[in-house]
Amino acid sequence: MKVSTLLLLLSLFLLVVFINPINQNITGNAAGPQANVKIFNINSEDFRFTINGLKNPELTVNKNDKVTINIYNKAGNHNFVLSGFNSETKVLGPGETSKIEFIADKPGTYQYFSDYRNDKEKMNGLFIVKG
């Protein structure tokens, strides 16, 4: 295969990964002996957050999980704020991405949302740390 063909295939693979995100749960001890790595790939668009088409999904992790939230903004201008963990992105324009990483060390129910302009009313969901 030509190098250009390989680069094209790699580019298409990466594009599919970011446009059709999935949740991943990887067992390991990155954040402690019983911790998991939880990865959420979230799209933001037209006044909603989605994962695999599910609008404003509930995100659930266990105490001490290492959490990665990848945000891909498909349309409009939005940010992502997670209360309780001092985590937020800048305002993202169409096609921009951002990542938040932290250890979920505080059990409870928290809210995630976009607080850019009037987004919060429609762009919000729950982040739950079991523990």
Cα→Cα distances 15→25, 50, 87, 102, Å: 21, 17, 26, 25
pTM, to two decimals: 0.75
Which amino acid is it at 21?
A: P
Using 70 as the pLDDT threshold, list the residues of the chain that sit under it: 1-35
Query: What kind and span of H or E run contains 27?
Result: strand 24-27
The domain spans of the chain are: 3-130
pLDDT of residue 21: 42
Per CATH, the homologous superfamily of domain 3-130 is: Cupredoxins -  blue copper proteins (2.60.40.420)
